[in-house]
C-alpha cells in the first residue's frame, strides 16, 4: 500500500508543480497589452507632434508626461512579464544573451513586489504632477484624493521594502 500512496503522492506533486504553466497564457496576454500600450504611445506622440506649433508649453509638458506615464506602465509590464514568468513559471535561459537584464538574476517574489510597488509610486507621481500642472481644471477634492492615494502607494512601497529587507537580513 505504501508504494501506491507514494506513487499517488508523486503524481499529485508533479500535477501541482506543472500547474504553474496555467500562468503562461497570462504573461502572453500581458505581452499583448504591452503591444497595445506601444500603439497608444505612438498615437500620443503623433498627436503631440501634429499640434506642437499650436499648443502651449503647459500642454506640451502634459503631453510629454503622458508619454512618460505610458513608458513607465510599459516598464512595469516588462517587470511583471519577465520577472513573474522567471519566478513563477520557468527559468529563462538567457545566461549568454548580451541583452540579459542585470536585475533578472536578483529577482524573487519579494523583490518583484518591491519593484512593482515602487513603479506604482512613480506612475502615481506622474499622474499627480499632471494634476498639479493642470490644477486650474481640477477640483480640490480630486487632487486631494490623488495625494492621499499617492501617499498610500508610497507608504506601501516603503513597508514592502522594509519587510523584504528584514526577511532578506534574517536569511543571510
Predicted TM-score (pTM) of the model is 0.76
Do the domain assignments include residue 15?
A: no
Do the domain assignments include residue 10?
A: no
Q: Which three cell numbers stand for residue 153?
A: 502607494
Q: Which three cell numbers stand for residue 53?
A: 506649433
Alpha carbons 126 and 150: distance in angstroms, whole number = 10
Alpha carbons 131 and 89: distance in angstroms, whole number = 39
Could you tell me the residue range of the domain that residue 97 belongs to?
Answer: 23-171
Do the domain assignments include residue 116?
A: yes
Count how many domains the chain has. Answer: 1
Do the domain assignments include residue 61?
A: yes
Do the domain assignments include residue 128?
A: yes
Do the domain assignments include residue 2?
A: no
Do the domain assignments include residue 137?
A: yes
Other Cβ atoms closer than 10 A to 124: 21
Per-residue pLDDT of the chain (172 residues; tens, 9 = 90+): 567 788 999 999 999 999 999 999 999 999 999 999 999 999 999 999 999 999 988 889 989 999 999 999 898 898 889 888 888 898 888 778 888 777 777 777 787 788 888 888 988 999 898 888 888 888 999 999 999 999 999 999 999 889 888 887 777 6
Rg (CA), the chain: 22
Do the domain assignments include residue 158?
A: yes
Amino acid at each position: 500500500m505504501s508504494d501506491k500512496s507514494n506513487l499517488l503522492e508523486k503524481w499529485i506533486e508533479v500535477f501541482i508543480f506543472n500547474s504553474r504553466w496555467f500562468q503562461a497564457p497570462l504573461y502572453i496576454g500581458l505581452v499583448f497589452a504591452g503591444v497595445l500600450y506601444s500603439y497608444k504611445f505612438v498615437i500620443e506622440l503623433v498627436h503631440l507632434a501634429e499640434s506642437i506649433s499650436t499648443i502651449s508649453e503647459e500642454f506640451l509638458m502634459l503631453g510629454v508626461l503622458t508619454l512618460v506615464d505610458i513608458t513607465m506602465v510599459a516598464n512595469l509590464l516588462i517587470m511583471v512579464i519577465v520577472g513573474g514568468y522567471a519566478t513563477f513559471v520557468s527559468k529563462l535561459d538567457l545566461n549568454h544573451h548580451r541583452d540579459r537584464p542585470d536585475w533578472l538574476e536578483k529577482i524573487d517574489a519579494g523583490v518583484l513586489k518591491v519593484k512593482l510597488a515602487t513603479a506604482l509610486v512613480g506612475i502615481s507621481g506622474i499622474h499627480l504632477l499632471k494634476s498639479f500642472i493642470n490644477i486650474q481644471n481640477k477640483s480640490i477634492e480630486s487632487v486631494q484624493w490623488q495625494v492621499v492615494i499617492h501617499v498610500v502607494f508610497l507608504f506601501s512601497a516603503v513597508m514592502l521594502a522594509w519587510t523584504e529587507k528584514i526577511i532578506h537580513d534574517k536569511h543571510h
